[in-house]
Structure 1
Amino acid sequence: MTGKGSAYGQAAGDTDFRKKYDLDEYAAKAAEREAADKEERKARWEAKMAGKKYFKPMDGSETLTTARNATQDFSRMVGQSTLVPAGAGVGKRGRGAGFYCEACDLTFKDNLQWIEHTNSMQHQRAIGQTGEVKRATAAEVHARIEAVWERLQERKRDQVVSLAERLEVRREEDEKEREEKRRKRKEAEERKRLKKEEELKSKQEYGEDVRIEGEHDDEDMMAALGFTGFGTTAKK
């Protein structure tokens, strides 16, 4: 590389990698944000003076409030640890230790506060809902009842089938267990029979003097203790 050339094929002084900012655009955004914050502070103050609670004004894009289709399972959080930023234990504003609402940027210390907040108008407005529930027609109510009834009947049918299947599996397992016990009992009886036949055969071949395992154990024990018998003696 010669002269003042660079790796990009241009002179080092002719290339500017700095990002260009439109100062007028950012100033206009800052002024707009400041005006909105000022208007919100004014509305909050007026609501407080009137003894009312301030809610975010609607802009016409909100939808009707609907029921939650997901259940919050708090039991799965037991025993878990979560890292939180420094200073998270002060106040409800911002992300902290507890249940955090991203839409409202609030943290709640227990699940009751969290549930109450999700049902509040503040949260409804923050997620783009009006807080009003759609009034169902008679046809929609009947259709919902029919759907719930059919779901309950289907669940009952599944339970009956599952119970019958479980009983059938249990019956097969019990039958296998009884068959295994019968097999072991027959094997034990067969071993005992063969052993007895071998003992009888040995006596027939070698006579009565053949010692069979366990046959004279009591006599040997008495002899070892010095007892030759417990017979009575006749008086002369």
Structure 2
Amino acid sequence: MTRSFAFFLGGHDLEMVTIRDLLREQSQQVVDHGFRWGAKASAYGREIAQTHDDGQVPVLVEPEPDIPLPAGTVLVDHHGTRAGEPSALLQVFRLLGLPDGDWSRRFQLVSANDTGHAVGLRAAGTNDAEIRSIRAEDRRAQGITPEQDRAGLTALSQAARWPGGVLVVQLPHTHAATVTDPLAMASGHPPDLLIVTPEGRNFFGSGERIARLDRAFPGGWTGGDLLERGYWGISQVIDESMLQAALLARS
């Protein structure tokens, strides 16, 4: 018997928009409230319960499971403790049972972008023009405006350098991609980067330093290839001296 799914989507970025389009093309039921990052299952609570009561299998594509979920609920994610798993797009593709031949180069690039940013795209054999195009699409999907892009460039031009080679950027909004994108295009191997925003802190760099931050300041999120390089973020205003101490501590 074929299972009937209902998909509940998390925060919008290029991967999530691509997943939404794929699901609609496959005539799947999609529930999408257009959330930004940090979406939680509780925001879909009643709809998830109704889906289960109707005999469908709820599939949560990246919303944080912050409420008890019906038995059999499928969780699609590749962040936090699941970092290193296939991209959410590939997990959904496989869940739908689609043939390998339908896995297009477009899907490959969207997945590489989501799991590895510009470094992942380069590993997938892209050129700089393709990377710029994919990253621009991702920023649009996140709702980033041209004004915010310009603010990111200004903040990057005023960056400071901490001991240990950590680049520190004071960003006036929360869209880290406005800093990480131009930095990635300027360098094939970006330095470890701390972005300070009005609402939180974001670090992009070595897996070892990410582990230190995650231990020192629980309650955040992580992703990427954490054995080598990834990212950490938290929606808290943490004193920069405390962050510096955690980043420079010896394991």
TM-score bucket of the superposed structures, by smaller chain: under 0.3
Using the size of structure 2 for normalisation, the TM-score is: 0.18
More helix, by proportion: 1
Q: Which gives a bigger RCO, structure 1 or 2 (Cα 8 Å, sep 6+)?
A: 2
More strand, by proportion: 2
Structure with higher Rg: it is 1
